[in-house]
Structure 1
Amino acid sequence: MSISIPLHIPARTIMTPGPVEVDPRVRHAMSHTILGQFDPAFTDLMNQTMGLLREVLQTKNHWAFPVDGTSRAGIEAMLCSLIEEDDKVLIPCFGRFGYLLKEIAERCGADVSTIECEWGKVFEPDTIMDELKKIKPKLIVMVHGDTSTGRMQPLKEIGQYCRQNDILLVVDAVATVGGTDVKTDDWFIDGLITGTQKCLSVPSGMAPLTYNNRIEKIILERKSIEQGLISDPSQVNKKKRIRSNYFDLSQLQDYWSPARLNHHTEATSMLYGLYEGLRLIVEEGLENRFKRHQLNEKALVAGIKAMGLSLFGDPQYKLPTVTCINIPEEVNGDQVRSQLLEEFGIEIASSFGPLSGKIWRIGTMGYSCQKRNILFTLSALEAILIQEGVRIYRGEALQAALSVYKKDQESESLKKNIT
C-alpha cells in the first residue's frame, strides 16, 4: 500500500485579476463547525447575508443571494431564468467576457446580436443606445469591468435608456463589486451578478446576484408554466420552461425565502466565508474601500511608468482593479511570469485572444490590494527584467510608488489637522 504525500501548498502573493488572496478572517470563518441547512442559526445567517449583500450591491431589491458555483453559475442562473427561446438579446463585447455572455445566451435559445469595439476601449453610450433602438431587444447583457482588457464600461446612461424603453439591463460585475463603485439601483440595473473570488476576497465557489421586481415578474410567469398553473394553451405557447433545475431562480428564491424550499444543500462553509467577506467590506466602508483600491492602483501605475514600461488601453476607462502592461518586445512575457512565480512566489497574469503574449495583467483586488504587495511586486518585476536584459530605469519604480503613498499620508494628516 502506497503512502500518500502530505498536502503542501506553497506560499504565494497572488496579484492576478482573480482569484486573489483570501482575507485571513474569512479563512477563519470558514473553519467553523458545520450547521444543518435548516438549523435556525443557519437560516438566520442566510437572512443576514442577504442584508449585507444589499448594502454592498447598493440596492433595495428584496432578492440578493448567492448561487452556489463560480461566477459563471450566477450568470447562467440569471440568463437561463430570463431568456425564452428566440428572445432578442444585445451583447456589447469589449473583451473576452462579452463573448462568454454571448455563448451562454445562445445556449439559452436567444436570438443574440453583438456589437464590438477594439480591445482596450469601451463603447460610447450613444453607440449602444443606437443599437438598442435598431434591435429592440428584450434585454441587454453587459460586462461592467472586463479583466481581459482592463477596461470599465460606464453604465448609468445606458441604464436610464433601458428603463425608459422597457428593456432589461443585466450586468456582469464580477470584477468590480467590492473594488469600485457599483450602484445597482442608481444605474437602473435590473439584474446583477458578481463573484466571491475577486474583490470580495473569498474563495471561488459562490456567485452573489440581485434582481428587481421587473425580473421577478418574468421568473414567476415562467414558474407558473412549470407548475401547470396556466390553463390557456395560447399563453403556454408564448412562454418557455426554465431549462435548468439547479439554476432556476424561481426555485432558488424559494430556497432563500421563509418557505425554505429544499432545492439543494447549501454550501455551508462557503456561506460563512461570504458572510464574513461582506461584513468586512461594510466594516471598512464602501467609500474607504474604493479609496484604498484607487490608492494602490495609483502607486502601481506610477511605479510601472517610472520603470519605463507602458500601459495598455484607454486610460480614461481603466478598470481600477486591473492594470494592463505592454510586454517589452525584447522579452518573453511567459518566462518573466514564470520567474516571478519561481523566484518570488508572485503570480501575475497574461491575457487572452488578440492580447495573448502581448500584455501582463496585475490585479489589485480585495485583500491582495495592499501597499506591501504593490511594493513587493514592483521590486520583483524590476529585478527579473534587469536579469532578462531589459533596459529600464533602475530604482525608479519603488521611489515613484513610495511618493504616491507619502503624498496620500500627508494629505490625510492635513485633513485630520483641519478637522
Structure 2
Amino acid sequence: MTNPTVQIPGPIDPPARLLMGPGPISAYPSVLTAMSAALVGQYDPFMTRTMTETQELYRAVWSTRNDATMLVDGTSRAGIEAAIVSLVRPGDRVLVPIFGRFGHLLAEIAERALAEVHTIETEWGQVFTPAAIEEAVVRVKPTLLALVQGDTSTTMNQPLDEIGAICAKHGVLFYSDATASLGGNEFDADDWGLDAATAGLQKCLGGPSGSAPITLSERAVEVVRSRARIEAGIREPGDPDASDFVRSNYFDLGMILDYWGPRRLNHHTEATSMLYGARECARVLLLEGRDEVIARHRLAGAAMLAGVQALGLTVFGDIAHKMNNVVAVEIPDGVPGDEARAALLTDFGIEIGTSFGPLHGRVWRIGTMGYNARQDAVLTTLSALEAVLRRYGAAVPVAGGVEAAADVYRGH
C-alpha cells in the first residue's frame, strides 16, 4: 500500500477581519472562549444541565413560554428543514410569500417535502401587507404559512405582528424563519401567534454558523407527535396515514423533542462545542438585556444608514421596513463593485457583501449586527468605504459618512 505524500499545513491562523456584511459576522469573544471549553459526555450531568439552561435562555430570546424550545444541530438551514419536513406531509398546501431569496428557499424545501406549494411575490425591496397575506390564505387554504421575517438579500423586515391572528382565524400553522433578524429586531413568538420559528447564530446573535435555535407551539408539537404515534403503531382519530409523510431521521423533530426532553432519548451525539457557543450567545444577549440589544442594533443601523446617505449612496428598498442590522446601497456608476469590495477586504480587512438574483452586482449589503453593532465598527467601516469610493473615482465628501454616523451616536 502506497501512502500519499501530504504537505502538512501549520496551525489554523485566520487573518484579522471585521465582518460587516450580511453575515456571518465577527463573534462575541466570550462565545469563542465558551466554544473552547472542555468536552464532556453527552449524558454527563453537566451536559444535560447545560442543555436545560440553554432551553430556558432561548425561551427568553424568543419571548415564549414554549416547552419545545431547543437547538437543531446544524446551520440555520437545518432548522428550517427540520421545521418544514416535520410539520408538512406530502400533498399539504404550503403558502410562501416571497420578497427575497430566502422565501424561494422556504418554497424549495417545502417542495422537497412533497407539499403542494403556493407562492405570492412582491417586488424586492418591499414587504407584504397583512391584507395581501390574508387574501392568499383565504384563496389557497394552506396547512402552513411559511414566512421569512428578515431577508438579508433585500434587507427587508416583514412585519409579523398581525399574521398570527390571520393564521389562527383560518386554522393555518404559522412558521417564520428569523435567521437574519432574531436578536437585533423585535420578535415576540407568543404575542405574535407563531407556531414555529427557527434561526441561526451567525447574525444578530453574534456566534458562528452551526446551531439552529427553534421553538414550537403546543399546536405544532401535536402535529409532530401525531407522526411519532404512527411510527409507534398507534393511530388516533385525525392522525395522517403512515405513508402520508416524508421520513427524515436527522430532521425528525419528534425524535429531537425526545432528545431534548426529560427522558433524553438518544438521537445523535450533541455538538458540544456548538451547544456551548449557542448558550453563550443567548447568555450575552440576556445579560445586556433583550430590549437593550435590539436598541443597540437599531442605533447602529441608524448610524450606518445616515453614514452611507451622507456619502451620497442611494439606499435600496423601503427604508421604513429595513431591518435594524443591515442596509443595502446602490453601487455608484463607474465603481467596479466586486473590485471595490476586494479592496476593502485586502487593504482594510473589512468585509461587506454583494447580493443575489436581480440585485447581484447592483448593491452592496453592509451589516451592523451582533458584536459589530457598535460605534467603532460603524465608523471604521464608513471611513474605509469612503477611501475606497474615492479611489475608484466617486465624488464623496471628506469624512462625511463618519461625521453623519457620529452625529447619530452623539444625539442618542
Q: TM-score range by the shorter chain?
A: over 0.9
Quick one: which amino acid aligns to residue 31 of structure 1? S
1:308-319 matches, within 5 Å, as 308-319=312-323
1:68-217 matches, within 5 Å, as 68-217=73-222
1:3 Cα deviation after fit: 4.5
Identity level (%):
47
Quick one: which amino acid aligns to residue 57 of structure 1? W
Secondary structure of the equivalent of 2:297? helix
CA contact (8 A) 1:299 1:400 kept: yes
1:60-71 matches, within 5 Å, as 60-71=65-76
Correspondence 1:325 to 2:329 = yes
Secondary structure of the equivalent of 2:411? helix
Residue matched to 2:350? 346
Residue matched to 1:300? 304
CA contact (8 A) 1:101 1:141 kept: yes
Secondary structure of the equivalent of 2:145? strand
C-alpha distance in 2 between matches for 1:240 and 1:18:
37
Correspondence 1:46 to 2:51 = yes
CA contact (8 A) 2:227 2:240 kept: no
Residue matched to 2:399? 395
1:282 to 283, 286, 301: 286
C-alpha distance in 2 between matches for 1:176 and 1:281:
14
Length, aligned pairs only: 407
1:5 Cα deviation after fit: 2.7
Stretch of structure 1 that moved more, 392-401 or 135-144:
392-401
C-alpha distance in 1 between matches for 2:212 and 2:401:
37
Secondary structure of the equivalent of 1:156? coil
1:242 Cα deviation after fit: 4.4
C-alpha distance in 2 between matches for 1:129 and 1:314:
22
What whole-Å deviation, never above 9, does each CA across 1:118-140 have from its counterpart, x for those lacking one? 00001111011011111111110
C-alpha distance in 2 between matches for 1:60 and 1:231:
27
C-alpha distance in 1 between matches for 2:239 and 2:77:
31
Give the structure-2-normalised TM-score. Answer: 0.96
C-alpha distance in 2 between matches for 1:77 and 1:69:
10
Structure 1 residues 3 and 113 mapped into 2: Cα distance closer, same or farther (>3 Å)?
Answer: closer
Structure 1 residues 85 and 384 mapped into 2: Cα distance closer, same or farther (>3 Å)?
Answer: same
Alpha-carbon RMSD across the aligned residues, in angstroms, is: 1.4
C-alpha distance in 2 between matches for 1:220 and 1:236:
11
Correspondence 1:34 to 2:39 = yes
Structure 1 residues 242 and 220 mapped into 2: Cα distance closer, same or farther (>3 Å)?
Answer: farther
C-alpha distance in 2 between matches for 1:39 and 1:164:
45
Residue matched to 1:256? 260
Quick one: which amino acid aligns to residue 157 of structure 1? E
CA contact (8 A) 1:91 1:98 kept: yes
C-alpha distance in 2 between matches for 1:98 and 1:64:
23
Secondary structure of the equivalent of 2:315? coil
Quick one: which amino acid aligns to residue 139 of structure 1? L
Secondary structure of the equivalent of 1:331? coil
C-alpha distance in 1 between matches for 2:239 and 2:123:
43
What whole-Å deviation, never above 9, does each CA across 1:24-58 have from its counterpart, x for those lacking one? 11111111110101001110010010000000000
Q: Is there any run of 5+ residues in structure 1 with no aligned partner, and where?
A: 409-419
**Runs of 4+ more than 4 Å apart:** none
Stretch of structure 1 that moved more, 326-335 or 343-352:
326-335
1:55 to 51, 54, 60: 60
CA contact (8 A) 1:16 1:362 kept: yes
Give the structure-1-normalised TM-score. Answer: 0.95
Secondary structure of the equivalent of 1:11? coil
What whole-Å deviation, never above 9, does each CA across 1:358-390 have from its counterpart, x for those lacking one? 000001110111111101100000001111111
Structure 1 residues 201 and 88 mapped into 2: Cα distance closer, same or farther (>3 Å)?
Answer: same
C-alpha distance in 1 between matches for 2:241 and 2:60:
39
What whole-Å deviation, never above 9, does each CA across 1:241-268 have from its counterpart, x for those lacking one? 4410010000000000111111000000
CA contact (8 A) 2:106 2:146 kept: yes
Secondary structure of the equivalent of 1:122? coil
1:231 Cα deviation after fit: 8.6
Residue matched to 2:223? 218
C-alpha distance in 2 between matches for 1:194 and 1:221:
25
Secondary structure of the equivalent of 1:46? helix
What whole-Å deviation, never above 9, does each CA across 1:285-319 have from its counterpart, x for those lacking one? 01111111111111111111111111000111111
CA contact (8 A) 2:75 2:209 kept: yes
CA contact (8 A) 1:17 1:147 kept: yes
